[in-house]
A and B are shown apart, each in its own frame.
Chain A
């Protein structure tokens, strides 16, 4: 038994040393595996997108991209980790543009500047917010439900994934634009919020296509509207809120790739070009379609512009709706 335990320790130490094996700096980039830090736990939509990249990446790069989940502090821990890591292109931020980059800075102080401290490499996808109701609901459209609420003077209850998240902001914006009383019930994440609607415990719900599309297909949810300026490519038959006469559109949940601000230009260019090839890969497109995540590639420069606009716009919306987390 003693031998077994000593052996185990030796193996563990050897494994630890193998993982941290150093590579000389002169080698051409990339000369060792690249860490892709995901600001969420495994199994969520950002993680799934990252795993799709991880799977296809080796086709276009000599070194693998390895997904590392750092779910702490609602994503802030992971982003700060990337911001403070060596800007050598071996630590990337997967999911750049998430709620804690474009929404949270308007609500609380961040330990870094999500725009100045990071360089955008590419946008991979945009997850829209889809407004849905249960299949057993009496209502087949959002205007019907709103008319009922006004006539009966009863509030509409809606599950949202978290307070002040993209879903909460969208539903609150609908409430304000349509002049109707909607009570948002926050849950601890998208899966919980979707489950509450599936059980018929609330009247309305909202989620990303990856969360609600399987239930729409299963006939458990009726899609009512998409909160984007245009229709979502993954749900082409669902009208936008604007088409329904409700003047609300948001930027959705943006998922891109970033790196520490001081990362060398040629490294950023390599990553940008490789990600472009990945997003054009047939296998990647198929996985993303299966995940109900539309591939919406933008290069680094365009993604930077897009992020600035989305960030500014969310700021205006939050002020208008008077959303705070105090």
Chain B
């Protein structure tokens, strides 16, 4: 069966009333989960797994799960923009300019462009998934420890671009993030680090707890201090939909974000996060007014949001073609298929073409449902800013607490959540931009682990990072970036020295 026949048969499956209903249900639950702060797609899918036992065929079950997964990616930007609350790692970048936009009364355009960007990126990525899944999967396998090391290092460098006004403060925050990332059992030595005898710390901190605590709770604690005079609430809500000018500014960002997200998203583990970072850094570099980034630049929302949505679609490629789940949510979908007796992998397309093509076709349909669901809702979400802070804040805290607890079903995460909230408050007081913290937290263990794995593979030879073509390419990009920055800085210093000499 060719691709064309395949996808047509897929649409016949995806468009049956029952599958349409499950797709819609998935999109709806996903949007809700994305919007509710702290509640993530992985925990939701885990909760719903037992329900799928009673669904007789695997197709609707997977359509439902997949809908929740990419639906949450759509909804995730909502809380990032409105409340400075990243629901998952890939939304951290969205907070930076999105929240600034909301504070300026541009929540509507920010939410609108995020939804439109997500729709375009999601649809393009599904087309890519349809046409190129198998060759791209082989490319993803080419990413071994040395390549992952180089890529994560590049990601960390990109995270510096988020550091706001002071690079020194950005670096301090980054080191803090790396430090938090090193808590727990080190897989290479098996030794537990910085656990202070607390068993819960052996598995390290959870990302959601850290990000939601530092960003969301920190923001709430900070606002509570403002004595009933909270800025985000009193600012005018402003226009609801992006203007033509916003669209013109964003369209290339969406396109670039889509491509970046599609390709980086296929790499198992951390692909979506790095793609949103790379997209942000690229947009800041190509922009004619980079100083607007961090102050509410719409490209800083459009690019990364497109990237993380494209990544969420392309992360299905390693699962569907290789049987390799790349992240926690995909692993849950993997489990759901296995319980139903369907083994994702290279034979999926032969043994269960209904599952393979049905799921892919459902993603086209799902993306359309999501844009229909989300665009009209933009107005509703914007109204949320009118809710008195005294009501909004406790509700947000309640949901973040439920979300944190649901990750590992342990009370310890609640204490950690509050502690990270206090940290976020302190950082906010000291005027630190917290963006690099959660990113360094994710990238640190990747960098450390893959570097030590690479060196074990090479017998301690550091040349392994530059003798493999993919790794060499990434290292070269890294070097170009650093040298470029240095030359730029020296020139600027000389020019200002020249100006002073002339005076």
Binding site for B on A (CB under 8 A): 1-2, 5, 8-9, 12, 41-44, 47-48, 51-52, 54-55, 66-74, 76-77, 80-81, 107, 111, 155, 157, 162-164, 183-189, 191-192, 194-196, 198-202, 214-215, 217-218, 220, 286-287, 290-291, 325-326
Contact = CB atoms under 8 A, between A and B. Distances in A.
Contacts of A287: 339, 341
B335 A199 contact: no
A196 B387 CA distance: 50
Given A74-B203, A220-B346, 18 more contacts: A1-B383, A43-B331, A54-B50, A69-B408, A71-B408, A72-B410, A72-B412, A74-B185, A77-B410, A163-B188, A164-B190, A186-B190, A192-B269, A198-B324, A199-B144, A201-B144, A215-B323, A215-B345
Q: Considering residues A41, A70, A183, A290, which has the most beta carbons from chain B within 10 angstroms of its beta carbon?
A: A41
Contacts of A51: 49-50, 335, 339
A325 B188 CA distance: 9
A107 B42 CA distance: 32
A69 B187 CA distance: 21
Given A72-B202, A74-B202, A199 B189 contact: no
B53 interface: yes
Contacts of A66: 50
A291 B384 CA distance: 46
Contacts of B335: 42-43, 47-48, 51
A290 B383 contact: no
B251 to A, nearest CB: 33
Contacts of A9: 395, 398
16 contacts: A42-B46, A42-B331, A43-B331, A54-B53, A55-B53, A67-B50, A70-B408, A72-B408, A73-B201, A74-B202, A77-B200, A81-B410, A186-B187, A195-B141, A218-B323, A218-B347
B409 A68 contact: yes
B268 interface: yes
Contacts of B456: 157, 183-185
Interface string B181-192: 000011111110
A191 B200 CA distance: 23
B200 A73 contact: yes
Contacts, number: 163
B145 A72 contact: no
A198 B345 CA distance: 12
Contacts of B324: 191, 194-195, 198
A214 B459 contact: no
Nearest to B458: A157
Contact of A218 (B185, B199, B346, B449): B346
A67 B322 CA distance: 28
B190 A162 contact: yes
Interface string B395-415: 100100010000011101000
Contact-residue bracket for chain B: 35 or more
B334 A43 contact: yes
B143 A80 contact: no
Contacts of B386: 1
Given A66-B50, A195-B268, A73 B449 contact: no
Contact of A77 (B186, B203, B268, B341): B203
Interface in B40-55: 42, 45-46, 49-50, 53
Contact of A73 (B143, B203, B332, B383): B203
Contacts of A67: 50
A218 to B, nearest CB: 5
B199 A73 contact: yes
Given A76-B199, A290-B343, A325-B189, A185 B46 contact: no
Nearest to A168: B190
B499 interface: no
A155 B187 CA distance: 22
A68 B407 CA distance: 11
B45 to A, nearest CB: 8
Contact of B202 (A48, A76, A184, A286): A76
Given A1-B387, A54-B50, A48 B190 contact: no
